Amino acid sequence: RPGPWHDAVGPAQMSASQDPVDPQVKLQDRFQRVSQNFRTLCSQLHIPFLECRLYEKYIMAEVTQENLCRLCLLSKLLLEHKRRTMHVLQLIHRREVIVMYIFSITKDYVQGSVTTMDVQDKVVPLLLTLQKVGLRIIEGIVHWRQQLTRPHSFMFQGQNYLLKMAADNQLVASSPLSKILPVQLTEYPLCSHLPSLSALNAEVLSRVGYVAYPLKAQKKAYIPSVSSKYQGRLQDAETYLKGELHRQQRLVRELQRLCGSGMF
């Protein structure tokens, strides 16, 4: 039977098992991992080159606990920025599918392959979805900009997407579709003046059947009222969207003044 000395640990084994890792080595290892993650986020989010160089020079050039904390904080902020960006992009892709379908229907109508009633039957149910998605996009971009020092453009395929939304509405307003569905998208980009759009939700459709036109619902008693809070959100979002061009013009003038004063 083995004696108690068999459970003892020799001096060499004890030094190997209990010798703590050098704190500086641990710091360098973690600093390297956080730095790599930070560079990846900068690349994914297209952080400006000069801004990345600034971080490289003043934070990442020296391995210290303070710089590690700063780098962790910046990485956390970039992760949140990425989350907000992805949220808006997902909504944009949903809206793009709807808009392209509406343009396709308009093209078919111009070519005479669909009737006026066909256009109404296909487009009107999409207006409520377009309203809800558009509202979430605008509010999402407002939320996205809260992390920024200035209201920079949310770019999608090389375009400021808020301006693209306004351009899409202008295109619909100038198309033959406006004669069939005079919804005044240039003035009311989210159709805030049509509370009866809420009659097109699934619950109402299951009770009274299909409502062919939002202003001609079959039974007014079944048209749910829009909450004042939701109506206010729609109107605020429309105002924000219509002010985007002037907002970007002011931003350009501000950046030009800063550049002229040697701030860049």
Tens digits of per-residue pLDDT, 177-193? 888 887 888 899 999 98
198: which residues sit within 8 A by CB, 6+ positions away?
A: 128, 204, 223, 224, 225, 226
Rg (CA), the chain: 29
Assigned token pair, 112: 């005479």
The highest-confidence range among 32-36, 113-117, 127-131, 199-203, by mean pLDDT, is 32-36
Per-residue pLDDT at 244 = 97
> What are the C-alpha distances in Å from 86 to residues 100, 106, 140?
21, 30, 10
Per-residue pLDDT at 57 = 94
Per-residue pLDDT at 16 = 45
The highest-confidence range among 2-11, 33-42, 226-235, by mean pLDDT, is 33-42
Q: Which residue's structure tokens are 């909504």?
A: 91
The model's pTM is 0.79
Q: Can you name the residues that pair with 160 across neighbouring β-strands?
A: 155
Per-residue pLDDT at 198 = 67
29: which residues sit within 8 A by CB, 6+ positions away?
A: none
User: Which of 166, 156, 150, 146 is CA-nearest to residue 237?
Assistant: 166
Q: What are phi and psi of 117, to 5 degrees?
A: -65, -35
Assess whether pLDDT exceeds 80 at residue 59. Answer: yes
Residue 7 DSSP one-character state: G
Give the mean model confidence (pLDDT) for residues 77-86. 97
pLDDT band at 13 (very low <50, low <70, confident <90, very high): low
Per-residue pLDDT at 203 = 39
> What are the C-alpha distances in Å from 203 to residues 198, 200, 208?
10, 8, 9
Please say whether the beta carbons of 198 and 128 come within 8 A. Answer: yes
Per-residue pLDDT at 183 = 81
User: Which of 128, 101, 104, 142 is CA-nearest to residue 237?
Assistant: 142
% of the chain exceeding 90 in pLDDT: 58
